Amino acid sequence: MSTVLSTNGLHSGYGAGDILKGIDLALDEGRILTLIGPNGSGKSTLVKTLAGLLEARQGDVLFAGERVNGWSPPRRVKGGLAYVPQEYNVFRNLTVLENLRISHEFMGGGRGELLPADLAALFPDLPSRYGTLAGNLSGGERQMLALACALTVRPKVLMLDEISAGLSPLLSNAIFKTVKSINARGVTVLMVEQNAIEALGISDVCMVLAGGRVRFCAPASEVLGRDDLHSLYLGDTRETA
Amino acid sequence: MLQTAFNGLISGVIMTLPALAVTLLFGVLKFPNFAVGAMMTCAAYLVFALNAQLGWPLSAATVLVAVAFGGACILLDQVTFRPLRGRGAITLMVASLGLGFILENFARFAYGNTARSFAIELARPFRFLDIRMNREQMLTFAVSAAAMVAMWLLLTRTPVGRAMRAVADNPQLALVRGIESERIIRWTWFITGMLLAVGGVLIGMDRALEPPMGSNYVVGVFGAAILGGLGSPFGAFVGALLIGVASELSTLVMPPNYRIGIPLAAIALVLVFRPQGLFGQPYIRK
Amino acid sequence: MISFIVLLSIVVCFSAILALALNFQWGLGGMVNFGLAGFYTLGAYTCALLILKGGANTFFATLGAMAIVAAACALTAFVTLRVAEEDYFAIVTLGVGEMLRLVSLNEDWLTKGALGLSGIPRPLDGVIPHEIYVYFLLGLSIALLLGTLWVLNVLARSPFGRIVRALREDDVVAATLGKNVLWARVRVFAIGGAFIGLAGSLHAFYYQYIDPTQFTNIVIAYAFMAVIAGGRGAHAGAIWGAAVVMVLLEGSRFLKDVIPWLDSDRLAAIRIIIIGVGLILLLIFRPQGFLREHRLQVDLATATMRRP
């Protein structure tokens, strides 16, 4: 099992001071890794740094065997590192079809189908909405579109920042099922989630981030089985439901 | 009054191309670019050089200059705005003001302050439905309409056009969807450079060529783009026509020198009450 | 030569006051006044008209000009209270400035249009002996400049200044606060306006003749260059910047003697090109000269993200 995405001693941040204070991460091919932690722990910052939107101030980011610190976001995504941001993750003024088309065109797809056939099957409802402006979609539809756009050119690694945010339990469930199926079709997944229980339910590995550092990293099943979930800063409000 | 409205329509049609340029530039580059007036002036003088001084037919001169000017705008961007990428909108606006001074005065230096005109056959005006029109105005309609159609096709049917709309919609998302922003910025300048060149020629046909010819239109063009909604190409088109007609009609009740008050009032009203204009999307600047 | 330096220094003084006003409105208040030229015009013309048509003396005319421009700025700021974005505000002020300039050009009955107003007296002209008058005027200008600097600094450090700074920092906070606090923005703009009026009055006194061509948009280029060249923060920087800019630009009038084979139109064009180039170079190479910038969230070229 090879490591497809890893960091060592990663530091990054926005202004003065680092938000990430030395992250070591290793994501093996074909796995699903879920990143959890309290607000402000740096989860989103980490994913943005991996995507290239934030510069790594210290440490390396290695993807598919190469050091990609100097790679721009377009270069990374063309190399197979796809990213779905948490908010504003679709082009609201473009239609669903245009969103998919543009992702396909610029992420390196040539002629051919917008989505690889096996992945397209996971989004049966999209074609009927092709003509709709992305800004007019419902929350759940928008997340599905954002997900599909990241898959138009089959990525090696898919990074999701709170893909289930704002969704009802039913939709949330559906999205996690979709993510699991995506993984089953050969895409490695890195997820940031507040919805820890459900996310861990489909994951292989769990990593807990707090205060910009890795506190804990273990197989997901192990984490789920613990009684002291709260003490691991899960912050999951659905637990009591 | 019908004549006034018609004149306003012509004036509005002339403004559609630069208004579209302004809105595209704002969408992709995220700042209002005040150099557009002087750019039109320079391009018009380049066409003048080929047409009146070297004897080229106006259409051929315009086509050549349009393409060349598109390239020139890319260079101007590399030198002036690229070093300032990511700086605040005010910095870029001030830089664009400076660039406008430079370009306009290049024209002034080369050709002085006296008014010039293109070397075209003067055809007699004709009357239609009791409105006086001339051949140049028909040509203006045709050229602008063709340019609008071409732009619409570009923006909706080509990858570059879609990418421009995507970058205008969400620059950060565009990056992670594989769109190289500098490439799109170069394309945007090339296209707007062409629009501005043709716009300059249309102004030169309608009025004389003189150094302030383009800058005189800046307030009107911005009024049009803002009224229509900065970032919305369709809005720029509608806004231009509205501003053009309204400005001319205003001369029936106000001294003509103050017709600039119409786009100014439009700008103030829109920015205070409905910043996204008629057709724009509120751009969330975080 | 000495008298040239004295005269140049006077010009530097009121240009510096103008730069300080821009600095105050923008650096402290976060409101960029692209209509500077128009308000400057208003100040100069108001002062001149109060003397020539109203019979006021130079002192009251100056006060009148300051009050009128302050009021105009207050009105502008009030109308645009809801416009939170810097660049939108700048566009609106550009428009207002343009309108003011148009009025000066077109309302012949009031301003004599393109002919301009001549015969503007200077303060205490008859009182101070002719031989030393320029030195008096210089002294007066310096005193007014220092006074401006003092007043604006005091205001910037006061509780009022703190409120304004807080409003500038965070638009969201500003939006949730009531009108009473937003009035601070109007006051900042108005106070800056008063000093624009002062600069305009001094301009009128110095040249003793004003016409619309003196107040083109080059004025704003000068003012911005002064603010940028001067450096971040302290108002004193704007003065230093104004000095540098003015010396270079007024000094370039000598080009005429050095390059006699170019006519004045062309020389004027070259000077403006130099200004434009200078402005852009300053923006590129002296970023620390800019007091406050809201950066775009994404640097498009290097694709890195920065917090605004």
* CATH number of the domain that residue A73 is part of: 3.40.50.300
Contacts of residue C241, Cβ cutoff 8 Å, sequence gap at least 6: C19, C225, C226, C227, C228, C229, C230, C231, C289
Instruction: Tell me the residue range of the domain where B229 lies.
Output: 2-114+131-273
C-alpha span between C201 and C48 (Å, rounded): 7
C-alpha span between C288 and C285 (Å, rounded): 9
Q: Is the model's pLDDT at C251 over the cut of 90?
A: no
Give yes or no for A136 touching B (CB within 8 A). no
Q: What is the mean pLDDT of residues A145-165?
A: 93
User: DSSP labels for B137-177?
Assistant: HHHHHHHHHHHHHHHHHHHHHSHHHHHHHHHHH-HHHHHHT
At C180, the pLDDT band (50, 70, 90 cuts) reads low
Contact criterion met (CB below 8 Å) for B102 and C276: yes
Nearest CA in chain B to C262: B109
Query: Do the domain assignments include residue B286?
Result: no
Q: Is the model's pLDDT at C303 over the cut of 50?
A: no
C-alpha span between A195 and C235 (Å, rounded): 52
Cβ pairs bridging B and C (under 8 Å): 166
C-alpha span between C12 and C243 (Å, rounded): 5
* pLDDT 10s digits, A115-153: 888 888 889 888 999 999 999 999 899 999 999 999 998
Token pair for B59:
């259409």
- Phi and psi at C59, nearest 5°, equal -65, -50
The pLDDT tens digits along chain B (286 residues) read: 788 888 899 999 999 999 999 999 999 999 999 999 999 999 999 999 999 888 888 889 999 999 999 999 999 999 999 999 888 888 899 899 999 999 999 999 999 888 888 888 777 788 877 788 888 888 899 999 999 999 999 999 999 999 999 999 999 999 999 999 999 999 999 999 999 999 999 999 988 899 989 988 988 999 999 999 888 888 999 999 999 999 999 888 888 888 888 998 898 888 888 888 888 876 555 3
Q: What is the pLDDT of residue C85?
A: 75
How many alpha carbons fall within 13 Å on the CB side of residue C159? 1
Q: What is the pLDDT of residue B256?
A: 81
C-alpha span between B206 and B209 (Å, rounded): 9
Least confident of A136-145, C57-66, C97-106: C97-106
Q: Is the model's pLDDT at A237 over the cut of 50?
A: no
C-alpha span between A69 and A12 (Å, rounded): 12
Token pair for C200:
């305009």
Is A91 close to B163, i.e. CB distance below 8 A? no
Contact criterion met (CB below 8 Å) for B80 and B91: no
Query: Do the domain assignments include residue B278?
Result: no
Is B169 close to A93, i.e. CB distance below 8 A? yes
Q: What percent of chain A has pLDDT over 70?
A: 93
Query: Do the domain assignments include residue B280?
Result: no
* pLDDT 10s digits, A71-83: 999 999 999 999 9
Q: What is the pLDDT of residue C278?
A: 86
Name the nearest CA neighbour of A150 among A47, A1, A64: A47
* CATH number of the domain that residue C60 is part of: 1.10.3470
Q: What is the pLDDT of residue A181?
A: 93
Q: What percent of chain C has pLDDT over 70?
A: 81
Contacts of residue C304, Cβ cutoff 8 Å, sequence gap at least 6: A53, A54, A55, C298
Query: Do the domain assignments include residue B121?
Result: no
- Top-confidence residue, A49 or B87: A49
Count the domains in chain A: 1
Residue of C182, C298, C304 to mutate when probing chain B, most B C-beta within 10 A: C298
Count the domains in chain C: 1
Instruction: Tell me the residue range of the domain where C135 lies.
Output: 2-305
Q: What is the pLDDT of residue C124?
A: 81
Give the rounded distance of the alpha carbon of B223 from its chain centre.
11
Secondary structure letter of residue C56 according to DSSP: -
User: DSSP labels for A33-96?
Assistant: EEEE--TTSSHHHHHHHHHTSS--SEEEEEETTEE-TT--HHHHHHTTEEEE-SSS-S-TTSBH
Is A70 exposed, middle or buried, given 0-12, 13-18 or 19+ CB atoms closer than 10 A?
exposed
C82 CB neighbours in chain B (<8 A) are 272-273
Is B105 close to C218, i.e. CB distance below 8 A? no
Q: What is the pLDDT of residue B10?
A: 92
Q: How many residues does chain B have?
A: 286
Contacts of residue B205, Cβ cutoff 8 Å, sequence gap at least 6: B118, B120, B136, B139, B140
Q: What is the mean pLDDT of residues A150-170?
A: 92
Is B102 close to C293, i.e. CB distance below 8 A? no
Q: Is the model's pLDDT at C81 over the cut of 80?
A: no
Q: Is the model's pLDDT at C57 over the cut of 80?
A: yes
| Three-class secondary structure of residue B133 per DSSP | strand
The answer to pTM > 0.90 is: no
Give yes or no for A83 touching B (CB within 8 A). yes
Question: In Å, how far is B175's CA from the nearest CA of chain A?
Answer: 5
- Phi and psi at B138, nearest 5°, equal -65, -40
The ipTM of this complex is 0.89
Q: Is the model's pLDDT at A179 over the cut of 70?
A: yes
Q: What is the mean pLDDT of residues C281-301?
A: 53
> Hey, which residues 243-272 in chain C have their CB within 8 Å of chain B?
265-266, 268-270, 272
- Phi and psi at B144, nearest 5°, equal -65, -40
Q: What is the pLDDT of residue C216?
A: 79
Query: Do the domain assignments include residue B223?
Result: yes
Please state, rounded to an integer, the average pLDDT across all residues of chain C.
79
In this complex, the chains that touch B, judged by 3 or more CB pairs closer than 8 A, are A, C
Candidate from C298, C303, C307 with C-beta closest to A14: C307
Is C298 close to B171, i.e. CB distance below 8 A? yes
Q: Pairing between strand A213-219 and A205-210? A: antiparallel
Name the nearest CA neighbour of C282 among C233, C221, C217: C221
Contact criterion met (CB below 8 Å) for A173 and A197: no
Within chain B, residue ranges assigned H as helices are: 2-29, 36-48, 58-76, 89-111, 135-157, 159-169, 171-176, 181-206, 218-228, 233-250, 261-273
Q: What is the pLDDT of residue C84?
A: 67
- Phi and psi at C290, nearest 5°, equal -90, 125
Q: What is the pLDDT of residue C275?
A: 84
A92-101, B251-260, C119-128: which is most confident: A92-101
Give yes or no for A70 touching C (CB within 8 A). no
* CATH number of the domain that residue B160 is part of: 1.10.3470
Q: How many residues does chain C have?
A: 308
Query: Do the domain assignments include residue B72?
Result: yes
Q: Is the model's pLDDT at C243 over the cut of 50?
A: yes
Q: What is the pLDDT of residue A125?
A: 87
Q: What is the pLDDT of residue C272?
A: 85
B191-200, C34-43, C271-280: which is most confident: B191-200
* pLDDT 10s digits, C128-144: 788 888 888 899 999 99
Count the domains in chain B: 1
Rg of chain A (C-alpha set): 17
